[in-house]
Every structure is written in structure tokens, then in C-alpha cells.
Amino acid sequence: MRPMRAIASLFALALMMALFHRVTASSPLEARATLALGFLLLAAHVGGELAQRARLPRLTGYLLVGFAVGPAWLGLVRREEVDALRFIADAAVALIALAAGAELTLEALRPARVALARLATGAIVFPFVAVTLVMVSVSPWFPLTRHQPVGDGVVVALVLGTLAAASSPTVTLAMMSELDARGPVARALLAITVAKEVAVAILFTLVLANGRLLTSAGALNMGVAGTAILQLVGSAAAGTLLGFALGRYLSLVRRDTGLFLVATAFVAAAVARLTHLETLIIALAAGFYLENFAPVEGERLRRELKRGSLPVYVTFFALTGAGLRVGVLADLWPWILLLIGLRLVGLRYGLLWAGWHSSVTPALARESWLGLVSQGGMAVGLAQLARRAFPEWGVSLEALIVAMIGVHEVAGPICFRTALVRAGEVTEEKRDAEAPVDGGTVAAARGGGL
């Protein structure tokens, strides 16, 4: 699609949606949410084409268009409509996480276990330590803690450090799909992001469990620590059961696999909501179980998910963009920039530290930190738990964390592609030749697949 035609299409869609806003103002929320979803999908798809023309990842286009038409800016999609569509986004997360889990095979991970453990350790410990130490030192001036006792400031710094260690496997897999990247750096980044999600959830629980030793009376709700560990263990167990059930079904039924997977994603999202578990962990565990303990069925699952990946990615990232909450940037932007800078420095030097070991290749040590910039998924869920953990000022803490996640979410796809280009797994020629074909796979315009 030519740029001017794409811009004209976006303008026309925006005018139509503005008109429908007036016409449907008194309609039921469900009807307005359905209309908003259709508009978001069309607008985000066009935005993705524009982003590709501008030499940006299509994911960035989906996110930016979703943000532009969402409640944070133009308001063509209202906040209550985005909230009503959150279940659709959860189902999309389940499908993406299923595919991510199915990419992790024990056979492939075992030879690289030392390198991956070293990389994951550096990518977790260094951002955690950098953010925690600096935020403790500036707590007398930090808006959330300057009127709180020193112990409260230390626990807040530990929570921010924990969240700084998180990365997003959903963005990683989506970018791997868009770039058709299956090289060692891309696969290592996916394994590292999954490991970081699990490790950050455990670290968050430990911080809250031991926070009572430092915080003042009533500042910390200790029940949240138990909730966090139960969510992690329960989600992993539910995902394993789901993977077993999927394997049995796929071994018996050979037809309508795609339709069944979509239904499974909605069931997983519904169960996660009812039981307060993590959809992402459930689906990751299910995909991992299938790929490693039912490999034939796991390969069928991967084929089906890859074939239908484009609408899933458009749906998820358009809704994510529409749901971004960055209003706090206006008041706390210096602090958010500080946190982002500390996190990036921690990632950079954490991966360089990992590169001191002979098992870590120079490309991973030098470039892979850029592939870990993105955040989302588990980090958003932990931000919600942080709000509940600190009754007095948890809302402000959550707003700060969510705004920081939003910045990383938009910048993450660009940084990921830069990492693979520098590592030599995606060349400039291949990047410029990207074109979506056949339901979301990527092919080169100059003949043949990538």
C-alpha cells in the first residue's frame, strides 16, 4: 500500500469512527466494544503497513496506531471499550505464549544451558542491582517515598529493581515471526525472556515476603506475597494440564486444529480470570509441555499458530497500544527516564559480563541486550500486585511502572530488530524486502523465503 493511500485510509477510518461514536453513544457497551475492535484491527493493519514503509517494525505501527486512536489521545476508542476487550487481548496472549512455549525444546536448550544461564543471570541481576541501589540513594527526593520512612523507600526501590529485570516473550516471538528470524541469537533471546519472566515472578515474591522486615506498620500488605507465589505455581500446573489435554486431543482429532486452538485460548483466558492465574504462564507451560512431551502434536500446533499469526499479533498489539496509560509521564518524566536509563545500562553491562564466559558468543554478549528491552505481560501483572501490596500509595507506584512499561513496549520491537541486524541474523536487504504474505508469514520480495 502506498503511503499516501494508507494515510488517506487512516483518515477515512477515523472520520467514520467519529461519526459512529455519535450514532452509537447510547448503545450497549458490548456493541460499542465490537465496533471498536473492528476499527482497531483495520486501523492497526494500515498503521503496520505505514511503519514498514518507514523502515520500522510493523508491531510498532500496531502499537502507535492503537495508542493514537485510544483513550489516551484521540479517544476514538473509549476506555470502557478497551477494558471490555481485555478478554480478547488475554486470548491473543494465550495464542502467542503457546507458540513461544512450543519454540523451547529441551534438546535445543540443553547444549546451551551454561550460556543461557549466564546470560539470564546477567540480564536479571545487573538491572535489578542498578535500579535498586540508585533508587535507594535518591529515595529522599523520589516523589513516592520522600515522605515515607527509609525502610519503605528501600522496599519500593527493590520492587522497581525487580520490575526492571522483566522482559517480554510476546514481543520477542512476534518480532521473530515478523523477521522470520530463527538464528541462534533470536532463539537465545526467546529462551532468556521466558526464563526472566519466571525468575522475576519469584524475585517479586521474595521481595514482598521479606519486605515486612523493613517497612513501617501498615505500609505493606503481606497477603500479596502469598498470592504471587500461588499464581506462579498454579499457572504452571494449570498450563501443564492444559498441554497434556491438548496433546491427547490433537493425537485423536486431525481436523479443525486452528479453530480448536482459538477456542482453547479463550478457555485458558477465562480460567485465568476466574482463578486469578496468569494467562501467559499457563500458555507458556502448555506449549513447552506439548513440544517436549508430545512433539508430533507440538509441531502441528506450531504450524497452525504460525499460519494464523498475523491477525493475532494485530489484535494483541493494537489493543495493547489502545490500553497504554502514559499520563504520568507529564509529571514524572525525569524519574521515568532515570529508571529507563538505569535499566538499559544494567542490561548492557549484564550481557557484557555474561560474555566473559567462553560459552557465550561475542554476538550475544555485544548485541543481545537490545533484544531484551521490551516489557509487558508479566510486568503488567506484577504492577497490579504492587498496587495491592502498598495500600497507601500503590496506585501511584502502579501508574509509574505502567508508564515505564509502555515506553519499553513501543521501543522494544525497534531495539530487537536492531540487535538481530547487528548480529547478522537479519540483513538490511532482507529487512527492506519484508512483506506479509500467506496469513502472516514473511517472504522476500526478491524471490524466495527468508
Cα–Cα separations (whole angstroms), residue 53 to 2, 50, 409: 8, 5, 20
Q: Which residues, listed in sequence order, are joined to residue 442 by a DSSP beta bridge?
A: 436
Question: Within a 10 A sphere around the Cβ of 209, how many other Cβ atoms?
Answer: 15
Which residue type sits at 147? H
| pLDDT attached to residue 139 | 92
Q: How far apart are CA 289 and CA 47, in angstroms?
A: 36
Joined together, the cell numbers standing for residue 241 give 494440564
For the chain, what percentages of helix, strand and coil (3-state, to nearest 5) are there?
75, 0, 25
Measured distance CA(306)–CA(178) in Å, rounded? 10
Strand (E) positions, 220-268? Answer: none
Q: Is 358 helix (H, G, I), strand (E, B) or coil?
A: coil
What's the rounded Cα separation, in Å, for the pair 378 and 358? 31
Shortest CA distance to 262 belongs to which of 293, 240, 283, 288? 283
Contacts for 54 with CB less than 8 Å, ≥ 6 apart: none
Q: Are 371 and 423 in contact (CB under 8 A)?
A: no
* CA–CA gap between residue 103 and residue 358 (Å, rounded): 25
Cα angle 255, 257, 259 (rounded to 5 degrees) comes to: 110
pLDDT of residue 125: 97
C-alpha span between 39 and 100 (Å, rounded): 28
Helices (H) and strands (E) in the chain, counts: 20, 2
Contacts of 23 (CB under 8 A, 6+ apart): none
3 state SS of 170 = helix
376-390 residues labelled b (16+ CB within 10 A) or e (exposed): bbbbbbbbebbbebb
36 to 45, 308, 309, 312, 318: CA distances (angstroms): 14, 22, 21, 16, 11
**Does an H or E element contain 112, and which?**
none
Nearest residue to 94 via CA among 251, 231, 270: 270
What are the cell numbers at 18?
467519529
- Angle, helices 86-102/257-275, rounded to nearest 10 degrees: 120
Strand partners, 441: 437
Is 325 in contact with 406 (CB distance < 8 Å)? yes
**Which residues have a Cβ under 8 Å from the Cβ of 162 and sit 6 or more positions away?**
128, 200, 203, 204, 207, 382
Element at 443 (helix H, strand E): strand 441-444
pLDDT at 446: 32
Q: DSSP states of 15-35 as a string?
A: HHHHHHHHHTTTS-HHHHHHH
Question: Given this model, what pLDDT does residue 430 score?
Answer: 52
| 291-297 contacts at long range (C-beta below 8 A, 24 or more positions apart) | 291/101, 291/102, 291/103, 291/104, 291/105, 292/104, 292/105, 292/106, 293/243, 293/244, 293/247, 294/243, 294/246, 294/247, 294/250, 294/251, 296/251, 297/246, 297/247, 297/250, 297/251
Q: How far is CA 35 from CA 39, 161, 170, 443, in A?
A: 6, 40, 26, 32
Asked if residues 371 and 417 have their Cβ atoms less than 8 Å apart, the reply is no
Give mean pLDDT in consecutive 10-residue pieces for the chain, a chain of 450 residues. Answer: 83 90 85 93 94 92 94 91 94 94 87 93 97 95 89 93 95 93 92 94 92 84 86 94 92 83 92 92 94 89 86 94 86 92 97 94 93 90 90 87 93 95 76 45 34
